[in-house]
Amino acid sequence: MEYEGNLVDSISEYAWQFCCAPGFALSPLFWLPVAILVLLFWITLGRGQGLRAFLNSDGVLTHKSTRADLWLFLISRVMMVFGIVTYFTFAPAVARFVADISPLPPLFANGLSPLGLTLAVFVIFDFAQYWSHRIFHRSALWSLHAVHHSAEVLTPLTTYRVHPLAGLISAAFHSLVLGVGMGLVVGSLAPDMGFVEIAGTNAIVVLLNATVVNLHHSQIHISFGPIIERILISPAQHQIHHSRDPRHFNRNYGNVLAVWDWMFGTLYLVREKEELRFGLEGEAFAPLMTQRLWPVLIDPVRRLIR
């Protein structure tokens, strides 16, 4: 148990640095895992292409949509401060408060193991993200979320192609749901867990989600097959979510787990590789499709308050 706790502490520290340290994105600890994943994809899927050609397939690296991704990524790094504050201070505070008033009796005499608790928090966080994503598609908030779906090509930077206001709303919603859900879990499974331990567990979950979602946004077709895709969202399934084809609308909202889509009727299984086009169609989204920063930032707010 002591080794397990030390392992979780080490991962928490790495996750905290990954999410919070301004210079960590320049560190080998950040780029080495990314480079290894890129090389693995190139070796298995490159089909004899050179590395540069593989990375720039369909002109992705020089596309105007990728430039917009980069600008929004830089802005999101600034806005990430709010997310950090909510995930690692507000959510743990809510969790501790809910745990203290929870009527649920402890289920384990010595509390749940650190890894077990991290798994429980991960499931809660993923559930919150599913419903947050679905709400952004089915409400007035779509005008903000449309910024993400205006990407014409998909790269890992597309993960951060988020309107700043949408980022603030998402962080607040996720933190509240995570705090309440985690508080109920802490109250019944780990009643002696403190504020710092809760924040560390959140850091692990945020790191895991960030890593997986980065893989979802790429031009590379990676399907897990119909059995696994009922449990985990594959990159190919998320490409379906970004598709312009009306058959694919409102499908595959899941972040990591596909079980929520399966349970709530929004799952789309990838039977074979389909020809997909990304981005948005229609006059209403023309300002976003210019891929220029000013319209991308201003037009969604104008449409939201109109």
- Per-residue pLDDT tens digits for 146-187: 999 999 999 888 988 999 999 889 888 888 887 888 777 766
* The pLDDT of residue 2 is above 60: no
Q: For residue 177, what pLDDT is reported? A: 85
Please, which contacts does 246-254 make with residues 24 or more away whose CB atoms are closer than 8 Å? Answer: 248/276, 250/137, 250/138, 253/130, 253/133, 253/134, 253/137, 254/126, 254/130, 254/133
User: What predicted TM-score, i.e. pTM, was given to this entire model?
Assistant: 0.79
189-204 burial: b if 16+ Cβ within 10 Å, else e: bbbebeeebbbbbbbb
Q: How far is it, in rounded angstroms, from Cα 172 to Cα 175? A: 5
Domain residue spans of the chain: 2-305
| Contact (CB, 8 A) for 300 and 144 | yes
